[in-house]
Amino acid sequence: MHTNVEQIFSFIDTESTFIEEQQSGTYLEGVVYALELWITNKKVPTIQEAEKEQIRKAVQLAILKGMKKSVQVNHQMTPDAIGLLVGYFVKEMAKDKKELAILDPALGTGNLLYTIMNILPTENHAFGVEIDELLIQLSAQTAELLACDIQLFRQDALKPLLIDPVDIVVSDLPVGYYPDEETAKDYFLHSEEEMSYAHHLFMEQSMKHVKPGGYLYFLVPDTIFESKQAPKLHKFIKENGWIQAVIQFPSTIFKTKGQEKSLLILQKKSEELNAPREVLLAKVPNMSNKEAMELFFQKIDIWQEQNAK
């Protein structure tokens, strides 16, 4: 007896492999084709009623397979281990909210955003921005299968966005130099000496699109506060927000050395709120160590309780 995840994956895999073998497209384009068949009811996987998480996981497995076959720099899906942990923080910190508007300005396949939305018990409305056509197509189809309330924008997220301020921003930021210097000039965080860092500009754009008191959850390089452009970033954060937490992930999650990321949680300043009593600085233990993980979550709960006082 196959599970729903296996059945869905096998359905997408068969159709995608067919497209690849016929040479009418890549495996990833085949995933788009398979999802289209499913959405339009032309062909569907043989499943019992599937839960949202089962659909997300199966689609994710197929996309990962496609990304491995034809490697492209911007085709980087946020791993589940990270998504689940970010989801834990978002859920804990939004406990008192009945409804959330969430933005991911670097949506990619949507895996990070949908992982979080599947964890949240609240009613949510999301906005996603992505520059890559294939990725936004995949994320749109996944959203449809998950019956997820989302508005998508295919554009450069650093150009003006027609999105009202949201409660929360979550994003696995694209790291590196931003090539459009003309657009970069409009940002406080642009660099005078060299090309500006895209991940810094994304943080500024996100801050602009979050409500006062709203939270921003960014996956950023471990070394973000050590770079040449870091002093300006420090100044920007100090003027506009509060650092709530910096959480380092174990390097084993990341495929290549030098790609390690941390979760940086910021809150946009608000006149009605005070700065956090204590910034949480933590390192996620080896995730297969159950005891160490329990201790880690206890530490977060204590910090969260103290901060809420």
Residues of this chain that interact with ligand SAM (CB under 6 A) are 74, 76-78, 106, 108-109, 111-112, 129-132, 135, 156-158, 172, 174, 198
Nearer to ligand SAM, 111 or 240 (CB): 111
Q: What burial letters (b/e) apply to 169-206, b meaning 16+ CB within 10 Å? A: bbbbbbbeebeeeebbeebebbbeeeebbbbbbbbbbb
**CA distance to 28, 140, 158, 174, per residue, from 163 (Å):** 29, 17, 12, 20
Nearer to ligand SAM, 69 or 234 (CB): 69
Cα–Cα dist 22/10, whole Å: 18
Compute the least distance from the CB of residue 195 to ligand SAM, in Å: 13
Nearer to ligand SAM, 181 or 278 (CB): 181
Nearer to ligand SAM, 131 or 143 (CB): 131
Cα–Cα dist 152/76, whole Å: 19
Cα–Cα dist 24/33, whole Å: 11
Nearer to ligand SAM, 197 or 303 (CB): 197
Compute the least distance from the CB of residue 59 to ligand SAM, in Å: 11
Compute the least distance from the CB of residue 125 to ligand SAM, in Å: 18
Nearer to ligand SAM, 14 or 259 (CB): 259
Compute the least distance from the CB of residue 105 to ligand SAM, in Å: 6
Tokens of 184: 């970069």
- Identity at 170, one-letter amino acid code: V
Compute the least distance from the CB of residue 136 to ligand SAM, in Å: 9
Phi, psi of 124 (to 5 degrees): -130, 150
Q: Which residue is nearest to ligand SAM (CB)?
A: 108
Compute the least distance from the CB of residue 216 to ligand SAM, in Å: 14
Nearer to ligand SAM, 112 or 263 (CB): 112
Compute the least distance from the CB of residue 37 to ligand SAM, in Å: 22
